[in-house]
Every structure is written in structure tokens, then in C-alpha cells.
Structure 1
Amino acid sequence: YNLALNATTGTIANAVTFSNTGTLALGASGGTLNFTGGLTATAPSTKYLAGTITANNTTSVINLGTTAVSVLANTLLGGTATGTITLGAATLVDGATLTLGTGINNAINLSSVAGTAGGTTSNLTINTTGVVSISSTIGTDIGTLTITNSGGTTFSGAVDASTVTLTNTTGAITFNGALTATTLNTAAQAYNLALNATTGTITNAVTFSNTGTLALGASGGTLIFTGGVIATAPSTRTLKGTIASTDTAMTFGAITLGAATTLNTNAASNVADLTIAAITGATHNLTLLTGAVDGAVISGTSVSGVGTLTITNSGGTTFSGAVSAATLAITNTTSGNT
């Protein structure tokens, strides 16, 4: 049978297990439904959610299983209990925001989140001090993805959103699937950040403000920062694969190569400079290029431990310190190399 709790208020004291195998509807837009002892709803075929749904007894859980979830209005899952929040593949109606957690220590296990194609974008907010695991994709008409806080967040699948805002985390925020975003915002907080996929495109001019570590790219992959990138605040920077911009500048602090790496600003004008501090090669090869445009320069401090250092298609290259590489190759530079 199907079961619906549609009122704007309601409180159930015990730990509830919904065993019906039909559909389950919980809550109403703007309302609050309290499950003091928590709730488990793994049996229903589909779940429909709206409003605030809480668990409020010590470590009681909100376990909605792995079957499909439809979010019908702005919805918050959380409360004062610190049990795990579990949610299967969620589809949000146009304009809805799904918020997971209330800023306390809930572990969150999430499958996928998608908006409804063709309408107003929907949003996802994560707010917990617990560990967050997203096993599948975030995408289809997602406007803003916000990590307000977490005890570490891992995205295993691709993430596609208009805006991705990473406010705070203890530990690391890791994107193992491709990140596609019009705007990526980071904050001056001590979290680590890793973009590990073999593909990914970020459109805005990105400044990595986090002061933990930064890892960009994958061996053999291509990560594109269309509007350019500044990465001087992180404590360390590890690069892999091809990292490119589109006629825009890229500025890095000291970098360590985690695999063969190519840095390319694809210069069509003299604004697309490539600036790097000290480079530690760890025996990997490094290729640096801007484009054969006078004034689109490559500048760095020192180079050590690089296998083959290739400088090609630049508007001039300057290193202020020592350069140590097993092999040095310089081709097609419009100005001098020093």
C-alpha cells in the first residue's frame, strides 16, 4: 500500500520503520515533520519529500534507503540527532533546494541528485561536520551546489552545476568525477581540495583561496580553466596531466608534479601569461607553453628533478633561479629565454 503524511506539522516519538512497499510521502512545503526516534524507509518503492524532516534523539538516523526519492519542495533533512542520513537517487522539482544536515555531526551517504530538465534550476546544500560520501552524479539542471561545512566530502561521480561554492570543511573535498561548473568559489579555510578526474571544465576565473593542499588533474587527462586560474594560497600544489586556460593567465605558487604535466594558456593575446614559483619534478616530464604571441610570457623561479622540460610556443621565458632537468627542449619562442 501507499502511505502519505501530508500535514505541515507532526511528531512521532518512536523509531519508525516504514515497511510498506508502495510509495511513501513525507511532509509538506514549509512544514516540519518530527521523527524523534528517527526513521527508516528502505522498503517503499518511491519516497516523496517536502519541508523539514527531522530526527532528534541522540544518534537516531534518517535512512531513506537506496530507491528513488522525489523532492517536491524546499526540503531539509536533519535535526538534533547525530545519526547517519542516507538518501538514494534524488530528483528535485524545478526551483527546489535540498539541504542535508543542520551543521552537526551527521555522516551523510548520498547516491545522486538531479534537477528536472528544462525548467528552473534546483540546488543542493550540504551542512554537517560529519563525513559525506556521494556515490554517483550531481547534475541535470543543478543551479548551486554548496558545501557549507563537512568533515570531508568525496564526489565519486561527475558533478555538473552552474555554481559550486566550497565554504568550509575539516579534511578534504575531493572530486573524483569530472567537475563542470560555470563558477567555482572557494574560501580562505584550511581544507584540502582535489580535482582528480581526467576531464573537467570551469568557466570563471578561479582563485583557489583554500589554505590546505590543492591537487589538480589526472595522468593523461585535461582540466580546463577557461577564465584562468590563481593558485597561490594553498599550502602545496600537486599537478598532473594537461591543465589549460583559454587565452587567460594562469598563476601558481610552488608546484610538485604528480605525473607528466603540461601547462598551456592557449594565448591569442599578450595577457595569457604563465607564472610559476619553484617546480619540483619528481622525475616527471613538464611541458610549458603559452602560444607564440609576443608578450604572453612564461616566468618561474627554479626547476629541479624534472625528466624532460619542454618550453614551446611562448612569448618569452624567464627563470630567476637554477634549472635542473635531465633534458631541456626549447622551440618556437617569439622572445628570449633566460
Structure 2
Amino acid sequence: MTRTSIALFNNKGGVGKTTLTYHLAHMFRRLGLTVLAVDLDPQANLTSMCLDETEIEELWEGQSELIEQGAAWSVLPGTGRVRSGQTIADAVKPILEGTGDIAPVEPAELQPGLWLLAGSLDLSRFEDKLSNEWFKTFAGDIAAIRTTTAFHRVVEQAAAGVHADIVLIDVGPNLGAINRAALIAADTVLMPLAADLFSLKGLSNLGPTLRDWRRNWQQLVLPQVPAGFSAPRAEMRPLGYVIMQPEMRLDRPVKAYARWLERIPWVYSVAVLDEGVPPRGDARHCVATLRNYRSLMPLAHDARKPMFDLKAADGALGSTQKYVHTCYQEFRALAEGLLARTEGPPRS
């Protein structure tokens, strides 16, 4: 298949975006694809899900709290999966400091065919630089274009280096400069949603913003990019949305959930796709609805593996194993559905 990239984004936090990215990366690998997961969220939550604390300490060249508290030894040997100074923040550091262009970084191989371009809390320092350079790109400022395309070029080099079939990009829940640079580097955008007011409000803000970014980049910037310079097309084609079911609470009755659920197709069609009001009950843009796997998450966290890979030795006993199987079926169906929408047939 032709390499494609998917950014998972909703500017409302807490909808399970990083968890979804992590599990999709593993499921795409199960389907036979070579996967590059990219952590462009300055909170680095995807990195913390993929690596243990000793590896993160080695990667970030800093002392972890566990080691400072004496709960782990600082002399623990590395796993060999990571090397210090190999994060997305290290890649853009020369631009930030004005000493050069992007630096080469190596993704960490989590398992055969699954790679992570790790994040860092230091990435937040790049926000102001990106913000200041955005409008300069409209005038064809080459330094500004180099800065704004940094994520695209880092990811492009990393993906080519590991021969990735698919790139998954995890970004933070906001419409700031870091996310703008991350999203214009994406071919497609998948939107995880909760059926609530806050997700719908985020969706209504997201659609017009993506269109503005796409239009400005394609009409004002791309015509001024020098020949031979790698710049993204800023396609950001909406793939659809995934509904993340909540845990039902007494203060959040089922009727309220259903009411917001009915409004999602309307808001997505009008705000994101800039189309007319869809017919009632139209759910063609809903890629999947994922149930709440609250009981599996602690086991998966302790075992440091996806929920659908949990075994009896990990504590998934009895009826829990049936739940694990259901989880596997749902994520496989989601991954195959996404591949169909990106025009890449799934591999067995």
C-alpha cells in the first residue's frame, strides 16, 4: 500500500485519543503493516505508554522520580530499544536554537514492524517559535517555511527509514501552533469523540479551523516553496469519527448520552465536512463505536501491552478473557475500516 498518515485529534481532551492511537498501532501491526507511531503531544503520553520509566530516563537524559525516590536503581541497564537524544524535540532543537535545520533522529523499535518516534516535554518550547513563523510563511520566508515543515520532514525521514506503511500521529487537545504544524503534515484526520457537549463543541471549532489552515497553506504557502524542498500538502482529509463510549454514571443518564449521540452526525457533516444537514440517523462517517474497557486498562498498563493481547498470566481470567476477545474484534474491525477509508486494503 502507499504510505499514509493518520492524525488522531480532538481539541477536547480526555476522550481516549492516546489510548486509541496506542491500540491502533498494535492492531495495524497485527494486520501485517509496518507502523510508525509519532508522539507530537508535548505531554508525551504515547511515549509513556510505549516505554517504561527506565527507558524514558535514558531517552530524555534525565533522572526519573522513581530513581530519585529510591524505588528503582539508576544503574539499571537499558533495554537497547532507545538511545538518548532521539526524540522529536531533539530533532527540532537546532531550529529552535537557531543553529541549523532538523537533526536526524532514530525511532525506537518497540517490536518487529512497530516503531515509535518518541515525544518529550521539551517539545512545548517549540510552540512560540512555530507561532511566530506561521504568518511569515505567507510571504515566502524560507526560514519560516523550514520551521513550519519541520515535523513533516522529521516524520517523512523516520517513516522512510523504517519503511513504514502507515504513520499514526498523536497530538495534544488544542488548536495551537504545535498542533497546526502536526496536522498540516497529516494526510488524514481521525476524530475520537465522546457523546457529550464538550466533544461536540470541540468538533464545531475543529472543522472551520482545519479548512482555514488547509486553504492558507495550499493557496499562500505552497506556491512559494522552493523546488526540491519537501513540504506537506496539508490534505488533512477527514476519515470519520470514533465514538468512545463512557462509563455510565448516575449523574449522566443513558437518555442524555443518546441525545448527544444523535447530534454528532449533524455537527460532523456541517462543521467538519462543510456539507449540508445529513438525513436523520445518517452514521456513514462513524467508523466505529468502542465500548469502555475500564476493567482491562489497569491490567494492560501493568502488563505493558494492548488490552486485546492480555493473557491469563496477566490477570485476564475467566469472563475477562471473553472481554479481551471482544476488545480484539472491535479494534480489528476499526483498523480494517480505517484501511478501507484510506484506500489501502488490509493485509492478513
Give the TM-score normalised by the residue count of structure 2: 0.27
Q: Normalized per residue, which structure has more strand?
A: 1
TM-score (structure 1 length as normaliser): 0.28
* More contact order relative to length (CA 8 Å, sep ≥ 6): 2
